[in-house]
Structure 1
Amino acid sequence: MTKAERALETRERILTAACEVIADIGFENISMRKVAEHAGVSKALLHYHFDTREKLFAEAMTHSFAQTGLDTEDDTGSVPAAVVLARILRSMLPTDEELRQDWKLWQELWVRAQRDPAARHLAVDLYEQLHAWVAGAVERGIASGEFRPCDVAALGTLVLALCDGLGIRVMLDDPRVDLATARSVIWRTIAPALGIPPEFPEI
């Protein structure tokens, strides 16, 4: 392994550890020492890669976001657009323990964004990427004839709003909204605009 590869591996390990610690105890309670211990590196090495908690938080959020939904679409393009969109929705909800951790990080970002301009800009940028992710799947379905032509931007905004609102209820273990209910509500809401069946597809 080259020096550059070792540095990259160390950076990835730190970011993974930071995501886990922030999700576990919240950003306001973390210290660089706690993250270093969790990552199995020295505090000096951690500061070499990230000189402030704020920079570490921003990089951790970006790292977490980059890992979300890597399996939503195959390289051959053979997966139907409805299935791709359904996989994206699955990845945007707290579907499993890994995604619940991502949601905890998002909740930390929402809180920080109210007080910190840098966090607010990061949140807006990540939402823009989510919007593009949804829009890409919808545009693909329209191009292939699987979806009815629609206002793609408006539909993307609706999907993100529904995922946020229902996802929070799932995170709260609200008995009225479990994952199946959240998926069903979102799909039934967007299905008429896309001209597809209202049942959430098998993915």
Structure 2
Amino acid sequence: MAKAERTRETRERILAAACEVIAEVGFEKIRMRMVAERASVSTALLHYHFETREKLFAEAMTHSFGQTGTDLEGDADSVPASRVLARILQNLLPTDPVLRQDWKLWQELWVRALRDETARHLAIDLYDQLRSWIGQALERGIASGEFARCDVAATSTMMLALCDGFGIRLMLGDPTVDVDGAQNAVWGAIAPTLGVPPEFPAV
């Protein structure tokens, strides 16, 4: 294995471990040693790649974000826009253990963003990327005639806000909300704007 490939593999392993540990114990309690042990690397090697907890947290968030929805990209052009949008919605909610871990990281970021300027800018940047992700699916559906013309930016923002609200309640284990209900509620809220049936599509 070439040196560059080994370096990339090590960073990926560290970032995956950081995501797991931050989700388990929270950023305030995390220690670099804990991540090194989970990644099976020395603390010296960890510090070589990430000098501080803050840098590790920021890159872990970006790494986690980058994994979200990667399964959608391979065949996105060959399926209806409504199914692509439904799958995006599914990925924006804590619908499986991996996404629940991602949600724990997001919640850590929200708390830090209230007090830390760097975390605030990171959160805003990631939200901009999410809006763009949704917006591309909306624009594709509008271009194909599958969706009615709408304010893409406003619709994307509303969908994100609804997913945040329902996602928090799902993470809290609110007995009045379940995944199916959340998906149906969000889809039902945007369906009239898009001119599509209110039932959540099969994904």
Question: What range describes the TM-score normalised by the shorter chain of this pair?
Answer: over 0.9
Structure 1 equivalent of residue 95 of structure 2? 95
TM-score, length of structure 2 as denominator length: 0.99
Aligned to 1:74: 74
Q: Quick check: 1:73–1:84 contact (8 Å CA) kept in 2?
A: no
Cα drift, residue 73 of structure 1: 3.8
The residue correspondences of 1:110-189 to structure 2 (distance < 5 A) are 110-189=110-189
- Tell me by how many angstroms 1:193 deviates: 0.3
2: distance between equivalents of 1:139 and 1:74?
18
Percent identity between the aligned chains?
Answer: 70
| Cα shift readout 1:28-67 (whole Å, capped 9, x = no counterpart) | 0000001000100000000000000000000000000000
Conserved 8 A contact 2:188-2:198: yes
8 Å Cα contact 2:131/2:156 also seen in 1:
yes
8 Å contact 1:93–1:163 — kept in the other structure?
yes
What are the ranges of 5 or more consecutive residues in structure 1 without an aligned counterpart? none
Task: Give the secondary structure class of the aligned counterpart of 1:148.
Answer: coil
What are the Cα deviations for residues 171-192 of structure 1, in whole angstroms up to 9, with x where unaligned?
1110111101100100000000
Q: Is the 8 A contact 2:93 2:167 kept in 1?
A: yes
Q: Deviations over 1:102-135 (max 9, x none)?
A: 0000000000000000000000000000000000
The aligned counterpart of 2:109 is 109
Q: Is residue 2:31 matched to residue 1:31?
A: yes
What is the aligned residue count?
203
TM-score normalised by length of structure 1: 0.99
1:56-97 deviations in Å (ceiling 9; x for gaps): 000000000000011124346110000000000000000000
Contact 1:184 1:200 in 2 (8 A): yes
Q: Secondary structure at the match of 1:77?
A: helix
Task: In structure 2, list runs of 5 or more residues that go unmatched.
Answer: none
